[in-house]
Structure 1
Amino acid sequence: MDKITSTARLMDAEELAQRQAGEASFLQLPARSSVFAERSMRLRQLASGHAMGKFLQFMAELADAQQRALASFPVVPLPDGEALMQASRLGMPPLPGEHWPRDPAWQQCLRQIATEVLPKAPEGGREVLQDLTQADGEWLEQQADKLLHGVMQGLDMAAAPIIASALQVYWTHLVIAVQEQGAPAGLAEPFGRVDDATACPCCGSRPTASVVKAGAERGGQRYLHCSLCSTQWHMVRIKCTHCESTKGLVYESMAPVDATEEESKGREPVVQAEACSECGHYLKLVHADRDVMAEPVADDLATLTLDLLVAETGLQRHGVNLLLLFGESEEPAPDPELQ
């Protein structure tokens, strides 16, 4: 059993802002060779002895399949120089998840992933995966639209994590390919700051979680991790990731119910929920500075109990994990073995 514990912000807001100003590079783009492989490694580590161990192990298999798909992703259309300039002028992401015209290559990626993980899936999820290997393209596009627009009604909740995994590979490839293509004349970088600081500067999606970095270059800096394209962007730790307020931030974490106060103090949690009393939202904060193996998506999946405990206080989650969705659906209920 677990209980929730709270801590307040320890550093004065202005002091932290001054310390962080100018120190952090704004963007950390995904690495083609390792982005999903690192997630898989962390998921396998977290699965050992975990109550959701079988689920986390399957998610590790899924991440491995994503890594292979990313490594062999075909050439697809990218925004040209004028489109990148226009997005920069408007303060908009150049690869918007809700509006970018998807190339059919993402569907082939989905079928590849579903085929690869099918033999390793729990028995209850194999029918869903088999259906996805042969799914109608128009239906897949409809499901993708719902996922990318955050529409739960009519979304096949059992198939959604696999569909989302292919969309993640596609958008991660797009971001990497645009960066490799380079910026047009007159633009320093193809990606930069956008008007909405709480949304991904590359694709406009919500974050899954934020991560506090370790190491000499970015140690202590907080980055938001995009739920779709794996980009990470800097946001100072004094701000709520939903409303950007610098007031009323509290950090919730889990501790065993039988732990003494002294024992709880001696354990620095790797994952906390950063809760804002101003807007009533929260987002997970993953401390890579406390565990260098921590990975935002993996650690978010492994701390579902924290979401349940925080939700009981009436707070709403700001971010989204596309691999674990909840909501109303007109489709049959998802099989608990897969979702």
Structure 2
Amino acid sequence: MVQRLLSPGEIESLDHNTIPRLVLPQPGVLFSARAARLRQLAAGGVPGIPAPESLHGYLLLMAALADAQAKIAPATIPPLPSLDAIETALAHNMPPLPVSGPRPAGWRAVYLALLDMLDTSGQPQLAAVLQDLRALPEAELEGCADAVLAEFGEGINPLHAPFVAAALQVLWTSHASQLDASRVQPPVTGALCPVCGSHPVASVIRIGGQAQGYRYLHCGICASEWHMVRVKCSCCEKNARIAYQSLDQPEEASASKAQDPSRVARAETCDDCHSYRKVFNQEHDFMVEPLADDLASLALDVLVTEAGYARGSVNPLLWLGSE
């Protein structure tokens, strides 16, 4: 049966109240799934995302970091900001857990717990880095956290930043998981996370239930996912000049339309703002994990940036530093 494709205007006019508008994270499940996906990517087990061999060691290191996040997440249930602060934010369509402004003082305890867990992970190559991370002066540690949350890479230490980001992820996902999704209001711009105000790291086409076939943006800090129609640029929100770029795949790899490796990871480019963000499609790979897949698909970044497009946001687990 041939289905008629809806026009952009028809898609915009659909009643989206029947689909999950916001999906809050489940920290324990999230980090465990991310660790497993990173190992699968490092082993070359994802045909649609052929991670280069030079990246395999880093993917395995980030898998160990995600394992540590998963282990400390159940014990990391920090109190939410005051009810008054949350209510005020919701009343003004502002993120209830903003990454801007003062951080919860307990974040440093989460950071140290993460380092302690990594100490027991059997990763001897981390010993020197963990020693440096523990010795960071408070001002330098807080400055690194500021830079991570602001996505400001200039001057940041690329060795320290992923570990600082990982601690912040544990804190913010734990906070986000305690919210009532039905009360969180969409912000003025759909290009920012309605929970914490961060940029999405990537978008993902979900499958199953009411979310079947819908596109969600995935927050790199709190891991919340919010719906955005598939005809919009997730950076400037225009929809007239959108295109999709993907890596070439062997002909035999695309034999099945239901499991097409060329459609697992694509870059959505916009000729209005000249930016791009990746789209990962669960319809073609059930195990898609946006942050892990984004990290492993650097070849796609190279392809698109060489074509003149700028990346829309950073991946919190990869900082290249300033040149």
TM-score range, shorter-chain basis? 0.7 to 0.9
Which position in structure 2 is the counterpart of 1:70?
Answer: 73
1:43 equivalenced with 2:45 (yes/no): no
Deviation at 1:68, TM superposition (A): 1.4
1:86 equivalenced with 2:81 (yes/no): no
Which position in structure 1 is the counterpart of 2:177?
Answer: 176
Which position in structure 2 is the counterpart of 1:332?
Answer: none
Matches within 5 A, 1:43-192: 43-49=38-44, 50=51, 51=53, 52-80=55-83, 82-99=84-101, 101-118=102-119, 120-121=122-123, 123=125, 125-177=126-178, 179=179, 189-192=182-185
Secondary structure of 1:217 counterpart = helix
* Aligned residues of 1:79 and 1:94 also touching (Cα < 8 A): no
Which position in structure 2 is the counterpart of 1:313?
Answer: 307
1:283 equivalenced with 2:270 (yes/no): no
| Cα distance, 1:131–1:76 mapped onto 2, change above 3 Å | farther
Distance, in Å, in 1 between the alignment partners of 2:146 and 2:94 is: 20
Deviation at 1:283, TM superposition (A): 0.5
| Cα distance, 1:289–1:172 mapped onto 2, change above 3 Å | same
* Aligned residues of 1:146 and 1:155 also touching (Cα < 8 A): yes
Distance, in Å, in 1 between the alignment partners of 2:253 and 2:66 is: 38
1:300 to 290, 294, 310: 294
Which position in structure 2 is the counterpart of 1:185?
Answer: none
Query: Aligned letter for 1:163?
Result: V
Distance, in Å, in 2 between the alignment partners of 1:58 and 1:164 is: 14
1:197 equivalenced with 2:190 (yes/no): yes
Distance, in Å, in 2 between the alignment partners of 1:201 and 1:57 is: 31
Deviation at 1:45, TM superposition (A): 1.4
Aligned length: 308
Distance, in Å, in 2 between the alignment partners of 1:154 and 1:76 is: 32
Deviation at 1:326, TM superposition (A): 2.7
Higher deviation after alignment, 19-28 or 167-176:
19-28
Q: Percent identity?
A: 37
Which position in structure 1 is the counterpart of 2:9?
Answer: 14
CA RMSD, Structure 1 to Structure 2 (Å): 2.4
1:248 equivalenced with 2:241 (yes/no): yes
* Aligned residues of 1:255 and 1:264 also touching (Cα < 8 A): no
In terms of fraction of residues, the more helix-rich structure is: 2
Higher deviation after alignment, 216-225 or 68-77:
68-77
* Aligned residues of 2:151 and 2:314 also touching (Cα < 8 A): no
Deviation at 1:198, TM superposition (A): 0.4
Distance, in Å, in 2 between the alignment partners of 1:263 and 1:293 is: 19
Deviation at 1:321, TM superposition (A): 0.8
What TM-score do the two structures reach when normalised by structure 1?
0.83
| Cα distance, 1:134–1:89 mapped onto 2, change above 3 Å | same
Distance, in Å, in 1 between the alignment partners of 2:91 and 2:224 is: 21
* Larger RCO, structure (CA 8 Å, separation 6 or more): 1
Distance, in Å, in 1 between the alignment partners of 2:115 and 2:320 is: 21
Deviation at 1:259, TM superposition (A): 5.1
What TM-score do the two structures reach when normalised by structure 2?
0.87
* Aligned residues of 1:84 and 1:190 also touching (Cα < 8 A): no
Query: Aligned letter for 1:152?
Result: G
Higher deviation after alignment, 111-120 or 319-328:
111-120
Q: Which runs of 4+ in 1 moved over 6 A?
A: 260-266
* Aligned residues of 2:236 and 2:273 also touching (Cα < 8 A): yes
Distance, in Å, in 1 between the alignment partners of 2:113 and 2:136 is: 12
| Cα distance, 1:267–1:116 mapped onto 2, change above 3 Å | closer
| Cα distance, 1:31–1:176 mapped onto 2, change above 3 Å | same
Which position in structure 2 is the counterpart of 1:239?
Answer: 232
* Aligned residues of 1:20 and 1:221 also touching (Cα < 8 A): no
Distance, in Å, in 1 between the alignment partners of 2:152 and 2:242 is: 29
* Aligned residues of 1:111 and 1:134 also touching (Cα < 8 A): no
Higher deviation after alignment, 141-150 or 82-91:
82-91
